[in-house]
Amino acid sequence: MAKAKIGIYWAAACGGCDCALLEVNEQILDVVAAADILLWPCAADPKYSDLRGYKNGEIDIVLFNGAIRTQENRELAQLIRTKTKYLVAFGSCAQSGGVIGLANQSSRDEIFSTVFGDQANWPQLSSNQDGYDLHLPEFLPRLTNLAEVVEVDYVVPGCPPPKQIVSALFTALVAGDLPATGTVFASSKNLCEECSREREQLKITQILRPHAHESDPDKCLLDQGFMCMGPATRGGCLAVCPAANMPCTGCAGPTANIRDQGAAMLNTVASLIGTGEEGEDQLAAEDAILAQFDDIVGTFYRFGAATSIFKERYHERNATTR
């Protein structure tokens, strides 16, 4: 059997996904034994020309991590798509935009002012430094996930993807036994199924934040008032966060039937909020609970803002492109 050819690529990413690949420890040796790694910017130093040099479909599979933030991310995603048979959205950013998708709440100008300050300091698309023409890729008006730009064959969720899931992917890869395209490498059920905390289906009577309040280690965090995203999130991670007293933040994305993870969880929370009061008192009590929320988008759309129904905050686009 010919050795498989694999690639690993990062777009708008933090580097965590690349590290996560190594979490499988020795298993990486099996991978290297069974496959040639043609592309891995984090480990080697490939050039655009190397990639362009491959024949269409020459690479068997590319694990793509990171979101699409710049024109360069987009072009490379398109190029890689032509060169590989299978494309994997690896990690939350490729899957759903990830944490950095929260930037879609701000316009490009707002982001630039925050990061670079005065407009004079903003980066220019073309400039001349010491006699050299420098070009920067365009900063896209809106961040997207990988699937909005090119067709994706598999999804490996997680921020970063947990060891046992990466390992399952490698096992399938080494055995040449990839599942049907469209497969998400995670549980089909929600996280509560894997969580050992006890749920009592109480009402949510208060909103607590994990850094400010101690939690009961045995009881469901949501029942206690901590906004655990577990109910609206795919399992597969074995509920390591709730086990460590951290509410699930939703990094694995929603289950198959859900279009918008944040909206699904908001519906759930809205259904559970209440104190048992009735009539006018009930409304007042519910309002008082709702007022305890600090950051609704950050809580419920931490990883899914860019792929939510709205995708971005509505604002008049800046007419000048940079």
Partner 1 sequence: MSSPRIGVFVCHCGLNIERTVDTQSVSETLRQYSGVAFVSDYDYMCSDPGQQLVSDAIREHRLTGVVIAACSPAMHEPTFRRAADDAGLNSYLVEMANIREHCSWVHLDRAEATAKAVKIIKTMVEKVRGNHPLDPVRIDHVDKCLVIGAGITGIQAALDVADAGFQVLLVEKEPSIGGHMAQLSETFPTLDCSQCILTPKMVEASRHPNIELLTYSEVLDVAGYVGNYTVKIRKNPTYVDPDKCNLCGDCEKVCPQSVPSEFERGLVDRKAIYIPFQQAVPSTYTLDEHSCLGLQPLRCSECAKVCAPGAINFDMQPEILQEEVAAIIVTTGYDMYPILNLGEYGGGDVPDVIDGLQFERMLSASGPTGGQVRRPSDGRVPKRVVFVQCAGSRDPENHNAYCSKICCMYTAKHALLYRHAVPESEAIIFYIDIRAGGKGYEEFVQNATEHEQIQYLRGKVAKIYREGDKVMLWGVDTLSGKKVEIEADLVVLALSMDPHPSTLALTKTLKISCGGEGFLKEAHPKLRPVETLTAGIYVAGAGQGPKDIPESVAQGSAAAAKTIALLTQDKLSHSPETVSIDEEICGGCGVCVGMCPYTALSLTAAGVAECNEVLCEGCGTCVSACPTGAAQLKNLTDFQLREMIEVALADG
**Chain positions contacting partner 1, by CB under 8 A:** 187-194, 199, 201, 230-232, 235, 254-259, 264-265, 267-268, 271-272
Cβ atoms of 36 and 175 closer than 8 Å: no
Name residues whose C-beta falls within 8 Å of residue 135's C-beta, 6 or more positions apart in sequence.
Answer: 125, 126
Name the binder of 271 from partner 1, ligand SF4, none, CB < 5-8 A by kind: partner 1
For ligand SF4, which residue of 31, 35, 88, 195 counts as binding (CB under 6 A)?
195
Closest to ligand SF4 by CB, 199 or 313: 199
For ligand SF4, which residue of 191, 232, 251, 305 counts as binding (CB under 6 A)?
191
Closest to partner 1 by CB, 7 or 231: 231
Closest to ligand SF4 by CB, 7 or 157: 157
Question: For 288-296, which contacts have Cβ atoms below 8 Å and span 24 or more sequence positions?
Answer: 289/204, 289/205, 289/206, 289/207, 292/206, 292/207, 293/207, 294/209, 296/266
Under DSSP, the state recorded for 318 is: P
Q: Are strands 132-135 and 126-129 parallel, antiparallel or unpaired?
A: antiparallel
> Which range touches ligand SF4 (CB under 6 A), out of 47-55, 117-125, 195-203, 296-304?
195-203
How far apart are the C-alpha atoms of 65 and 169, rounded to whole Å? 14
199 is a site residue for ligand SF4 (CB under 6 A): yes
Supply the minimum distance, in Å, between the C-beta of residue 141 and ligand SF4. 35
96 is a site residue for ligand SF4 (CB under 6 A): no
Query: What one-letter code names the amino acid at 67?
Result: A
Q: Three-state DSSP class for 40?
A: coil
The residues of the shown chain that bind ligand SF4, judged by CB under 6 A, are 190-192, 195, 197, 199, 220-222, 228, 230-231, 239, 242, 248
